């Protein structure tokens, strides 16, 4: 037993060194995964994140990203380990035939895992310590937070990383030991080259895959920006993933069987080998192909969303605020509007500031629940999209605001909605019916966003004060004495000058009659910039992770299948197939194998763009043309990257199958 105590660790190290072609890529993949985990945790555990201004937003987003990262990395590392153990089974079977007991093989595998564990953790931690500050500065920059901060190293993050990879290594080792322990030496020797059994009930599963994919697509295409959008998104993604797997598993087999029955096509050398080779490893092929398809979709959508949000950041941040500064008065409307504006201009000039985008109007505000063409006083308290605000103003006030000369008759109104068009010829205020003379497509009161179904505002313009009062009394509001007056503006100037103006302006309006509030939205806008900057950071990081995971899966798939097909092509050469025939067959097989996930990813992306648009609407993004352009550009760029990766992997595959000479 003593000889095994020293022999097995040495064998473990020798195995890793001599099988570098399969071990080194696995070690590199593991270092990348653990490095990513460590950097995220290091940022999360950094004390400065809890003290930075607006850091709470970025902190929450990093916490969400960190949880998702752990969920992604465990199955990903398990998946890459499956390639490794499949390549090792022949070698382990040979050890068993030569007299090494399974317990000794298990101990040797333990030492291999321990050596790899030590290398991976050490390399990941060192790389994390070197590059974590750079990644942290990227987060701060995107989140518009101070970058002149001290970044500290948290021992807790190192410990978390050690424990995380220990769990992954233990899980993979346990699975490997079970697989080796259950198989006899002959099975181990042949398992690396064994094909997959055809799945049963192919027709049923193919139909189920189509139905699941159709259900996911339908949910995505019908998605609306309401309180169920995130739940719908979850189920749509779930259905698409299941449908993709079923179609690649069973649907692809049904398609290959169909091709096989076409005798003229099938019994041609290149087609015969291509179709037979795909049928040979159908289930394993389907698992990797479906993963490639899903990761490809994730890469495209993540990149598209990240680029679109980055390009529209300014509009998103300002969409929730009509003006940076707002003064509100409530009462009988006694405030002198002209005097208020003149004083604001004087204070601005005194502080070296110029007022832009000035707006001022009087209105009566009502909170109501919309049911079709009717605005009710009562409604479903949980239906947030149903509750809205009615801003009622007179024809005179509207003409002053918009610079128009509208003329309304009693019982007529002009109507504007900041969201989707109202779309009715009449409007009911409880039991009061009013004729909609014209629905307005724009207004200075608010920005028109036809796809926004949340927090909408309706502007109703009445012929005179009496008509407005009668309408507001339907909701128990006195239209003569419950008047609100808004004065908004955007001061242009240096930050210090704007601060000085804001302080004096607030002091002035607080002394006016009917003063109700003074709001400086700049801090809220900076907080939103911080939050959306954190989203950009998550998008960049996860887009990179998804892309690297995709490339790794493609690489492992080609390398593993190259070794599996090596003997097959050797036999084909012996029966007369030359090098050019092999190259043409390889090209055809790989084109078919890798073309399917790309086509699937592009279809998934096209079907999902509407739902993505609705999801982005939750943060104020409503630029459909920009998202479409980003989606088209993203698909083109990704397809080029994908095809480049395909060419590289096909070359590696060809080199492997040609090594028999």
**What six digits make up the tokens of 335?**
């405030």
Q: Tell me if 164 sits within 8 A of 61, measured CB to CB.
A: no
Q: What is the pLDDT of residue 1?
A: 47
Rounded to the nearest 5 degrees, what angle is found at the Cα of 401, between the Cα atoms of 444 and 430?
Answer: 75
- The span from the CA of 340 to the CA of 510, in Å, is 12
Which segments in the chain show pLDDT lower than 50? 1, 195-196, 660-661
pTM of the model: 0.73
Q: What is the 3-state secondary structure (H, E, C) of 412-457?
A: EEEEEECCCCCCCCEEEECCEEEEEEEEECCCCCCCCCCCCCCCCE
Q: Chain-wide mean pLDDT for the chain?
A: 79
Q: What is the pLDDT of residue 582?
A: 62
- H helices of 476-578, in order, are 495-509, 522-574
- Collapsed DSSP state (helix, strand, coil) of residue 591: helix
Q: What is the pLDDT of residue 572?
A: 62
- The span from the CA of 376 to the CA of 440, in Å, is 22
- The span from the CA of 282 to the CA of 253, in Å, is 7
**C-alpha separations of 82 from 112, 179, 224, 329, 620 in Å:** 15, 11, 41, 68, 43
The burial class, CB within 10 Å (0-12 / 13-18 / 19+), for 278 is buried
The burial class, CB within 10 Å (0-12 / 13-18 / 19+), for 261 is exposed
Distance of CA 213 to the CA centre of its chain: 20
- Per-residue DSSP letter, 622: -
The burial class, CB within 10 Å (0-12 / 13-18 / 19+), for 295 is buried
Q: Are strands 432-440 and 483-492 parallel, antiparallel or unpaired?
A: unpaired
Measured from the Cβ of residue 415, the count of other Cβ atoms closer than 10 Å reads 20
Q: Tell me if 323 sits within 8 A of 445, measured CB to CB.
A: no
- The span from the CA of 536 to the CA of 542, in Å, is 10
- The span from the CA of 352 to the CA of 347, in Å, is 9
- Per-residue DSSP letter, 249: I
Q: What are phi and psi of 574, to 5 degrees?
A: -65, -25
**C-alpha separations of 412 from 333, 438, 479 in Å:** 24, 9, 17
- Per-residue DSSP letter, 49: G
- The span from the CA of 331 to the CA of 335, in Å, is 9
Reported as half-sphere exposure (CB side, CA atoms, 13 A), residue 170 has a value of 6
Q: Are strands 387-394 and 457-462 parallel, antiparallel or unpaired?
A: parallel
For 70-104, b where at least 16 C-beta lie within 10 A, e where not — what string?
bebbbebbebbbbbbbbbbbeebbebbeeebebeb
**Ramachandran quadrant class, 243 (left: phi over 0; alpha: psi -120 to 50; beta: rest):** alpha
Q: What is the pLDDT of residue 604?
A: 93
In sequence order, what are the residues at sequence separation of 6 or more whose Cβ sits closer than 8 angstroms to the Cβ of residue 107?
A: 4, 8
**What six digits make up the tokens of 232?**
């719908």
Domain ranges of the chain: 1-194, 195-321+524-661, 322-520
Dihedral, CA atoms, 280, 281, 286, 292, nearest 10 degrees? -120
Q: Which candidate, 73, 67, 180, places its Cα nearest to that of 120?
A: 73
Sign of the dihedral through C-alpha 624, 626, 632, 635: negative
């Amino acid at each position: 037993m003593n000889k095994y105590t020293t022999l097995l660790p040495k064998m473990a190290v020798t195995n890793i060194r001599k099988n570098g072609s399969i071990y080194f890529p696995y070690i590199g993949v593991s270092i990348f995964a653990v490095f990513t985990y460590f950097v995220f945790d290091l940022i999360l555990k950094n004390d400065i994140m809890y003290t930075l201004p607006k850091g709470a937003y970025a902190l929450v987003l990093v916490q969400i990203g960190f949880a998702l990262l752990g969920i992604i990395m465990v199955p990903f590392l398990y998946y890459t380990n499956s390639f490794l153990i499949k390549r090792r089974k022949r070698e382990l079977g040979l050890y068993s035939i030569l007299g090494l007991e399974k317990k000794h093989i298990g101990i040797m595998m333990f030492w291999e895992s321990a050596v790899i564990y030590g290398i991976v953790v050490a390399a990941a931690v060192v790389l994390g310590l070197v590059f974590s500050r750079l990644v942290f500065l990227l987060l701060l920059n995107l989140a518009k937070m101070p970058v002149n901060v001290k970044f500290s190293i948290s021992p807790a993050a190192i410990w978390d990383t050690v424990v995380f990879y220990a769990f992954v290594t233990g899980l993979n080792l346990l699975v490997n030991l079970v697989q080796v322990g259950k198989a006899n030496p002959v099975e181990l020797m042949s398992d690396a080259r064994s094909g997959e059994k055809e799945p049963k009930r192919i027709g049923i599963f193919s139909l189920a895959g189509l139905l699941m994919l159709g259900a996911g697509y339908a949910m995505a295409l019908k998605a609306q920006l309401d309180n169920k959008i995130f739940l719908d998104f979850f189920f749509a993604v779930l259905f698409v993933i299941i449908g993709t797997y079923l179609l690649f598993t069973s649907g692809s087999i049904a398609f290959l069987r169909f091709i096989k029955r076409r005798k003229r096509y099938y019994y041609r050398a290149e087609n015969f080998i291509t179709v037979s080779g795909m049928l040979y490893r159908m289930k394993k092929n389907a698992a990797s192909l479906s993963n490639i398809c899903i990761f490809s979709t994730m890469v495209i959508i993540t990149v598209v969303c990240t680029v679109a949000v980055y390009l529209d950041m300014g509009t998103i941040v300002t969409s929730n605020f009509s003006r940076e500064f707002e003064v509100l008065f409530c009462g009988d409307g006694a405030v002198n509007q002209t005097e208020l504006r003149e004083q604001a201009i004087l204070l601005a000039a005194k502080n070296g500031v110029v007022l832009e985008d000035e707006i001022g109007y009087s209105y009566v505000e009502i909170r109501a629940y919309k049911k079709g063409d009717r605005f009710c006083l009562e409604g479903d308290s949980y239906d947030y999209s149903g509750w809205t605000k009615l801003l009622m103003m007179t024809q005179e006030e509207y003409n002053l605001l918009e610079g128009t000369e509208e003329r309304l008759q009693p019982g007529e109104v002009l109507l504007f909605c900041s969201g989707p068009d109202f779309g009715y010829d009449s409007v009911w205020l409880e039991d009061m019916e009013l004729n909609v003379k014209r629905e307005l497509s724009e207004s200075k009161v608010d920005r028109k966003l036809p796809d926004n179904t949340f927090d909408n505002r309706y502007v109703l313009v009445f012929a005179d004060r009496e008509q407005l009062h009668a309408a507001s009394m339907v909701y128990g509001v006195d239209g003569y004495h419950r008047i609100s007056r808004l004065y908004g503006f955007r001061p242009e100037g240096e930050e210090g000058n704007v601060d000085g103006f804001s302080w004096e302006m607030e002091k002035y309006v607080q002394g006016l009659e009917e003063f109700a509030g003074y709001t400086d939205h700049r801090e809220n806008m900076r907080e939103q910039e911080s939050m959306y900057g954190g989203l950009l950071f998550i998008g960049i990081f996860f887009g990179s992770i998804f892309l690297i995971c995709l490339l790794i899966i493609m690489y492992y798939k080609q390398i593993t299948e190259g070794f599996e097909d090596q003997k097959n092509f050797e036999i084909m050469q012996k029966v007369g197939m030359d090098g050019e025939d092999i190259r043409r067959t390889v090209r055809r097989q790989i084109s078919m194998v890798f073309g399917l996930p790309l086509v699937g990813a592009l279809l998934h992306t096209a079907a999902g763009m509407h739902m993505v648009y609705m999801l982005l609407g939750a943060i104020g993004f409503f630029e459909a043309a920009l998202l479409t352009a980003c989606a088209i550009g993203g698909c083109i760029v990704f397809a080029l990257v994908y095809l480049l990766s395909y060419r590289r992997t096909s070359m590696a595959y060809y080199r492997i199958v040609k090594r028999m000479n």
